[in-house]
Structures are given as structure tokens and as C-alpha cells.
């Protein structure tokens, strides 16, 4: 059986064996606590041993006007008893907390899928706000799906009545009621959620009790309500996984702890300069709580100050790190050039979001690849690596630190809004298995008659790193071109040529320190290869797997090292008849591959702010093979 995401009727289930995976989407007003509900459901699902992937999808407005379609916040989770690599295509279950949530999400629901709606919110006012002329719960317009509706609002109010909350506060417990019902539907344990609620409301025990009561009431409702065959319980077996200790991790978390790990492996303190921007801020938030790991965080006055302070800290001997999203990365461009020119180690994280300018701040896209590889004045080469998933981002962060410190260069790590916010189970790594890469500062003063040369290089072309405070090695660096042999200002034509080539060769040389490009699925050579990078890993991998099960000759190659690329990549790509490159942009990696290898890489593009669906990649594969 494929790992497709199907919610089956009892008859179908009986015919096809047990359910393997289910996609559930919680949708409600941005004030309804849908992200929180989704997050807690994710936790209980992980604890039940299922593999899972999530997709939080929320509006840019913090509290858009209540009941409006643009204020709808959704959280999708795909979980199952086999490997899950995407948040799922079409949901099997949609939990709609109001008409706007129903309206904006129902079209995605699988035919025959289940809608659970809070009829208490389907009054005339909310229906009008969502643009419904008639109540969809009553007019038969949802006939393609299974519909169950009951007054969740009222049921919640009844459940929390003993705690004497105001109407507004009582209704806030709706999400917990809904979560209770969902936990019952999928046979999940309530205990960890109860624990979490008690912790969260430790200072307001009555709120904790009310929320727990709502949770229990939702659960009990599932157990006892007689709603016929529609609402019934499903059990999804745990996914087989490598034995070990697991936790859930979001991309923002794994990058933060990966940076801390990288700094420790380099033997450095970390300085993080950041400026609030969606969806990158979460990294600043995480790191600001890790001071015991030698992390100093600095919320700067703007994006430029954020990177500039990080470069200043790098000059002074710390690992400099800055993080932003596209618009902020654009502002940092000039300072990146200075870090390239002065050859200081720096990690720049770009959590990509949609569109130029402000674009789609909370949606995901991979459209900053050109910006990462090419987006600076002058010949300004910089290594770029891209994480494929929240868990992968941990190793990518360590790699970024390694390259930055070993090659004395800024490095850009690309993730995106999807990776930053999404959660997945992560096998806790054994840190003893990582090889440290300690930095050696240059501290030997020059011999009598010799001068300090801050641009003296090792065999990798990395220059020496001299910390201010080191006696006998005072020197000056800056953005003006420096003499190749002395480090003094030098505008001579031949010198600039030589320095430009050194900067280029140093960065290209990083390729010698990275692993060969592997094939994620399939074989070298064949009819078709699907080449991806970043967060499209899940849908590409699933699509290729499904096609291969149908005996289609297709392989999956996923590139982590965007610049420079692995030494074997050209040969590998040329071993296939055809190459397609699915990207959430208009074809940026495609351009890079064509430029580097003169191969006929064909684009498959999606720029809607939503991740690829597996079915979309499957269709692209079929089309490419026609």
C-alpha cells in the first residue's frame, strides 16, 4: 500500500487494511488558538510514536478582524504509521471553527473527507463576514463531504461553567475542547496535554482546570455522542523508527541549537545580532534563552546594524551570526560584502518567505536563491547551503559554522518559512559522534624586521584570524582592496585581479571539504532525475517513491550545497536523460545548474506561498517522461 494520505470509510478501511496516515487540518480565527491546538496535537501524536509532518499556515495580521476570511489561521498535520515527509496534500479531516475557516479551507478537503464544524459560530453575522449568503451547514452545498456539526461553543461553555469564567474567557477554551475531540478520534493520550496545560497556567490554576475540563469534555463527547457512523475512532499504529530517543523539533529550534553546537565545536563564543522579522525572529527568541552556552544575543536597531555588530564580534574573535528573511537580507548586502572583503567568519541565516518587497510575510517560498548566490556588488563569492527539513537544519547549521570558521568567510544558510515553523520528530543526536573543528587564532608576533600580515593564508587560502588584544599583532582591515602580500591598501590593477581570484578560489575550494552529492532515491543514470533543494524534499521524495513503485525510471537528487556545488554533481546530472527541477520560485536552481553544467534542466515551478503537493510533482514527472 502506498503511503498516500487517505481517510477511509469503514467499508474502504475494511477492504484495504488499516489506515496508514491521516491529514487533519485545524482552521479557525487567528484568535482561536489553532496553532496552539495543532502544536499540542503534534506533541501527542509524536508521543504515540507516529511519524508526522506539520504545516502551520497563519495570516500576517496578528489579530485580523474576527470572523473574516483573511483572519483565518490553520494548522495541518500529516501523521501515520510509515515514513511521513510532507504535511500532506489534501486533508482528510477539516475542523472548522467558524464560517470563514470553512470557506477558505473546504476546497482543499478530499472528496468524501470529514468536516467538523462549530455550528455555534455560524450565526448570520459570521456568515455575512465570510461571504456566505446561506448557511452552508444547512443548504446542502457541502454534500461532497461528510459533515458533522454541533455547537462546540455551547458545549465548551457548559463544560467550563463550574469555574466561573467570563463568557469571553470561557469561549477561549474552545480549542481545548476541539483538541479533546481530535485526541479521541485518533486514540491519543491526553495525559501529556494535561501536564502541559498545568504548566502553562501554573499561575492561574482556575484557567488550567477550565482548559482541562474542556479537553476532557471534548474527549468524552467523542466517546459518548451518538452521531451515527460519521464520527468514529481510528487507531494509527506507531511508525517503525530507528530505536533511540526522539523529540519534536521546528526548524527555528534546530538551527538555534545547531549554531550553539557549531560554536562549541569551533571552540568559540557566539554573538548573534538580529532584528525582528517574520519568519526569522524565532531564531533570535530561541538563542536569547541559551546564554549559558556562551551566546550573546543583540537585538539591533535595524538589519544593517544586526549584521554589522555580528561582523564586529567576528573581528573581535567570536562566531558572528545574523539571521533574517529576504527583505532584511537585502539590507545586509553591503555588510556581507565587507565580511567577504575582510574575510571574517560569519553565518547568515535566511528564512525565506514569499515574494519581493514585503510580499507574503508568513507564507513560504524558495525565491532568494539568486539573492544568496549572486546578490552582492562586485565579485563577492560566498558559500551557500540549504536545509531540507527542520531536523536537517541542525546539521546544516553546524556545517555553516564549520565552513565559515575553517575558510574565514561568511556563509549563508537558507531555510524557509515552512522549515522554520514546521515540526517533525527528530532522533536526538549523540553529540560525541560529531568531530570538532577547533579554531586556532594567530598569536605569534612577526620576527624582527617582518611586518604583520593579516592576509597570510593557509593551504585552503583561509587568512589568519587575529583577535584584537593579541600583543605584537596590531593591524588594520577594511573594505578597501588590500595588497595580496602585505594587507595594506592597494588599488593596483594586478593586485585587485589577484585578490579577486583568491577570494573566488577560496570559496570554490570549499567543494573539496564537502561530501559528494548522493542520490536520495534511485540510481545513477536513467531516464529522469528530479533535482530539488530545501523544503521541497518531502513532496519530491514521496512523489519519486510512488512513481518508482509504479516501475517508473526516476531518481531523486536533493542538493544541500548550493554554492559551491559538490564536485561530482555535473557528472551525476549528465548521467540522466532528463532533468526536472521543482522549486517554489520561477526557476532559480534551474538557472544555476544550466550555468554550471550546461545541462538541460527543466523548471517545475510553484509560487503560491504553499508547499508543493505530492500529486503536483507526480504530474510533473509524468509529463517529463512523455
Partner 1 sequence: MNELTKLTPKDFATDQEVRWCPGCGDYAVLKAVQRTMPDLGVKPENIVFVSGIGCSSRFPYYMETYGFHTIHGRAPAFATGVKLANPELDVWIITGDGDALSIGGNHTMHILRRNLDCQILLFNNEIYGLTKGQYSPTSRVGTRSPSTPFGSVDRPASPCAFALGSGARFIARAIDVNKFLPDVLKAAHRHKGAAFVEIFQNCIVYNDDVFAPFTAKENASNQLWLTQGEPMLFAGGTKGITLDREALTLKLVDVVDGNWQAAGVIVHDPKNRAVAHMLIDMPFGAFPMALGVIYDDPRPTFESAVIEQNAMASAGKSADLQLLVAKGQSWQVTKEPHAI
Question: Between 135 and 174, how does the x/- string for binding to partner 1 read (CB under 8 A)?
Answer: ----------------------------------------
Given the rule CB under 8 A, which of 373-381, 430-438, 507-515, 544-552 is the region that contacts partner 1? 430-438
517 binds partner 1 (CB under 8 A): no
CB of 68 to partner 1, least distance (A): 35
* C-alpha span between 223 and 305 (Å, rounded): 57
Of 191, 160, 190, nearest to 174 by C-alpha is 160
239 binds partner 1 (CB under 8 A): yes
187 binds partner 1 (CB under 8 A): yes
Among 240, 378, 438, 446, binds partner 1 (CB under 8 A): 240
Among 145, 150, 201, 246, binds partner 1 (CB under 8 A): 246
252 binds partner 1 (CB under 8 A): no
Which is nearer to partner 1, 133 or 292 (by Cβ)? Answer: 292
CB of 320 to partner 1, least distance (A): 7
Which is nearer to partner 1, 169 or 237 (by Cβ)? Answer: 237
Residue 126 CB contacts under 8 Å (≥ 6 apart), including other chains:
67, 98, 99, 100
Which of positions 35-94 make contact with partner 1 (CB under 8 A)? 43, 46-49
* C-alpha span between 15 and 17 (Å, rounded): 6
Strand partners, 609: none
CB of 355 to partner 1, least distance (A): 26
Which of positions 602-621 make contact with partner 1 (CB under 8 A)? none
570 binds partner 1 (CB under 8 A): no
Residues 222-249: b if buried by 16+ CB within 10 A, e if exposed: beeeeeeeebeebebeebeeeeeebebb
401 binds partner 1 (CB under 8 A): no
191 binds partner 1 (CB under 8 A): no
Which of positions 333-372 make contact with partner 1 (CB under 8 A)? 334-335, 338, 342
Among 177, 271, 563, 576, binds partner 1 (CB under 8 A): 271
298 binds partner 1 (CB under 8 A): yes
CA distances from 6 to 22, 181, 396 (A): 6, 20, 33
CA atoms within 13 A on the CB side of 389: 21
Which is nearer to partner 1, 488 or 548 (by Cβ)? Answer: 488
Among 131, 469, 485, 515, binds partner 1 (CB under 8 A): 469
Which of positions 277-296 make contact with partner 1 (CB under 8 A)? 289-294, 296
Cell 538555534 found at? 256
248 binds partner 1 (CB under 8 A): yes
CB of 529 to partner 1, least distance (A): 33
378 binds partner 1 (CB under 8 A): no
In degrees, rounded to 5, the angle at the alpha carbon of residue 561 between the alpha carbons of residues 558 and 566 is 90
Of 293, 156, 154, 295, nearest to 213 by C-alpha is 156
Strand partners, 557: 531
Given the rule CB under 8 A, which of 164-172, 200-208, 315-323, 365-373 is the region that contacts partner 1? 315-323
244 binds partner 1 (CB under 8 A): yes
Strand partners, 416: 352
The secondary structure of residue 521, as a DSSP letter, is: B
CB of 334 to partner 1, least distance (A): 5
CB of 472 to partner 1, least distance (A): 7
Among 112, 192, 566, 603, binds partner 1 (CB under 8 A): 192
Among 131, 438, 478, 485, binds partner 1 (CB under 8 A): 478
Q: Helix 34-47 crosses helix 191-200 at what angle (to 10 degrees)? A: 140
Which is nearer to partner 1, 202 or 480 (by Cβ)? Answer: 480
Among 95, 97, 261, 380, binds partner 1 (CB under 8 A): 261
133 binds partner 1 (CB under 8 A): no
Q: What is the DSSP string of 545-564?
A: HHHHHTT--EEEEE-SEEES
450 binds partner 1 (CB under 8 A): no
In degrees, rounded to 5, the angle at the alpha carbon of residue 377 between the alpha carbons of residues 507 and 277 is 90
Which is nearer to partner 1, 114 or 314 (by Cβ)? Answer: 314
Which is nearer to partner 1, 237 or 553 (by Cβ)? Answer: 237
In degrees, rounded to 5, the angle at the alpha carbon of residue 10 between the alpha carbons of residues 44 and 183 is 15
Given the rule CB under 8 A, which of 205-213, 473-481, 542-550, 614-622 is the region that contacts partner 1? 473-481
Of 130, 131, 153, 148, nearest to 32 by C-alpha is 153
Of 40, 46, 38, 88, nearest to 427 by C-alpha is 46
3-state secondary structure of 528: strand
Q: For the chain, what is the radius of gyration of the CA atoms? A: 27
Among 131, 164, 468, 485, binds partner 1 (CB under 8 A): 468
300 binds partner 1 (CB under 8 A): yes
Phi, psi of 513 (to 5 degrees): -105, 5
Which of positions 316-335 make contact with partner 1 (CB under 8 A)? 316-318, 320, 334-335
Alpha helices (H) in 24-173, listed in sequence order? 34-47, 99-105, 124-130, 152-160, 167-171
* C-alpha span between 172 and 163 (Å, rounded): 13
431 binds partner 1 (CB under 8 A): yes
Strand partners, 352: 416
202 binds partner 1 (CB under 8 A): no
Residues 366-397: b if buried by 16+ CB within 10 A, e if exposed: bbbbebbbebbeeebbbbbbbbbbbbbbbbbb
488 binds partner 1 (CB under 8 A): yes
314 binds partner 1 (CB under 8 A): yes
548 binds partner 1 (CB under 8 A): no
Amino acid at each position: 500500500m502506498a503511503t498516500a494520505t487517505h481517510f477511509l470509510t469503514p467499508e474502504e478501511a475494511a477492504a484495504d487494511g488499516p489506515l496508514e496516515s491521516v491529514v487533519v487540518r485545524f482552521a479557525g480565527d487567528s484568535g482561536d488558538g489553532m496553532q496552539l491546538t495543532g502544536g499540542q496535537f503534534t506533541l501527542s501524536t509524536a508521543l504515540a510514536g507516529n511519524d508526522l509532518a506539520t504545516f502551520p499556515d497563519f495570516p500576517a495580521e496578528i489579530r485580523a478582524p474576527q470572523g473574516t476570511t483573511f483572519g483565518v489561521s490553520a494548522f495541518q498535520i500529516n501523521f501515520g504509521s510509515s515514513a511521513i515527509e510532507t504535511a500532506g496534500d489534501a486533508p482528510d479531516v477539516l475542523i472548522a471553527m467558524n464560517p470563514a475557516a470553512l470557506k477558505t479551507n473546504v476546497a482543499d478537503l478530499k472528496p468524501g473527507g470529514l468536516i467538523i464544524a462549530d455550528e455555534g459560530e455560524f450565526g448570520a453575522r459570521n456568515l455575512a463576514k465570510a461571504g456566505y449568503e446561506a448557511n452552508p451547514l444547512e443548504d446542502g452545498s457541502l454534500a461532497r463531504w461528510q459533515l458533522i456539526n454541533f455547537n462546540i461553543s455551547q458545549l465548551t461553555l457548559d463544560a467550563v461553567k463550574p469555574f466561573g469564567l467570563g463568557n469571553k474567557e470561557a469561549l477561549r477554551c474552545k480549542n481545548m475542547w476541539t483538541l479533546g475531540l481530535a485526541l479521541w478520534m485518533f486514540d491519543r493520550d491526553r495525559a501529556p496535554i494535561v501536564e502541559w496545560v498545568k504548566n502553562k497556567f501554573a499561575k492561574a490554576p482556575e484557567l488550567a482546570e477550565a482548559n482541562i475540563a474542556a479537553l476532557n469534555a471534548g474527549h468524552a463527547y467523542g466517546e459518548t455522542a451518538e452521531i451515527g457512523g460519521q464520527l468514529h475512532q481510528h487507531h494509527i499504529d506507531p511508525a517503525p523508527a530507528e530505536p533511540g530517543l526522539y523529540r519534536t523539533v521546528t526548524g527555528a529550534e534546530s538551527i538555534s541549537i545547531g549554531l550553539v553546537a557549531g560554536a562549541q565545536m569551533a571552540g568559540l563564543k557566539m554573538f548573534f545580532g538580529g532584528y525582528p522579522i517574520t519568519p526569522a525572529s524565532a531564531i533570535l527568541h530561541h538563542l536569547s534563552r541559551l546564554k549559558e552556552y556562551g551566546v550573546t544575543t543583540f537585538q539591533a536597531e535595524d538589519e544593517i546594524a544586526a549584521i554589522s555588530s555580528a561582523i564586529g564580534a567576528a573581528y573581535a574573535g567570536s562566531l558572528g551570526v545574523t539571521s533574517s528573511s529576504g527583505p532584511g537580507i537585502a539590507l545586509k548586502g553591503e555588510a556581507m560584502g565587507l565580511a567577504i572583503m575582510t574575510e571574517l567568519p560569519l553565518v547568515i541565516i535566511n528564512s525565506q518567505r514569499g515574494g519581493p518587497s514585503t510580499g507574503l510575510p508568513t507564507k513560504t517560498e524558495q525565491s532568494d536563491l539568486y539573492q544568496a548566490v549572486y546578490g552582492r556588488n562586485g565579485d563577492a563569492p560566498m558559500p551557500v547551503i540549504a536545509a531540507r527539513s527542520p531536523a536537517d537544519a541542525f546539521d546544516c547549521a553546524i556545517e555553516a559554522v564549520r565552513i565559515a570558521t575553517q575558510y574565514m568567510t561568511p556563509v549563508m544558510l537558507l531555510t524557509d518559512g515552512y522549515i522554520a515553523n514546521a515540526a517533525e520528530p527528530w532522533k536526538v543526536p549523540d553529540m560525541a559522534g560529531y568531530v570538532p573543528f577547533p579554531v586556532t587564532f594567530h598569536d605569534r608576533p612577526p620576527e624582527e624586521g617582518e611586518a604583520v600580515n593579516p592576509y597570510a593564508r593557509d593551504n585552503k587560502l583561509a587568512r589568519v584570524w587575529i583577535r584584537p588584544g593579541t600583543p605584537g599583532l596590531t593591524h588594520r582591515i577594511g573594505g578597501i582592496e588590500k595588497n595580496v602580500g602585505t594587507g595594506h591598501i592597494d588599488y593596483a590593477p594586478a593586485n585587485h585581479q589577484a585578490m579577486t581570484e583568491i577570494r573566488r578560489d577560496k570559496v570554490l575550494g570549499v567543494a573539496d571539504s564537502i561530501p559528494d552529492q548522493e542520490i536520495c532515491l534511485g540510481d545513477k543514470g536513467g531516464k529522469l532525475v528530479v533535482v530539488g533543494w530545501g523544503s521541497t524534499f518531502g513532496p519530491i521524495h514521496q512523489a519519486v517513491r510512488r512513481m518508482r513503485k509504479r516501475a517508473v525510471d526516476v531518481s531523486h537528487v536533493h542538493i544541500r550545497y548550493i554554492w559551491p556545488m559538490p564536485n561530482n554533481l555535473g557528472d551525476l546530472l549528465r548521467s540522466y536523460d532528463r532533468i526536472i527541477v521543482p522549486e517554489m520560485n520561477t526557476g532559480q536552481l534551474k538557472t544555476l545548474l544550466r550555468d554550471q553544467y550546461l545541462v538541460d534542466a527543466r523548471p517545475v515551478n510553484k509560487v503560491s506561498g504553499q508547499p508543493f503537493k505530492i500529486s503536483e510533482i507526480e504530474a510533473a514527472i509524468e509529463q517529463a517522461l512523455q
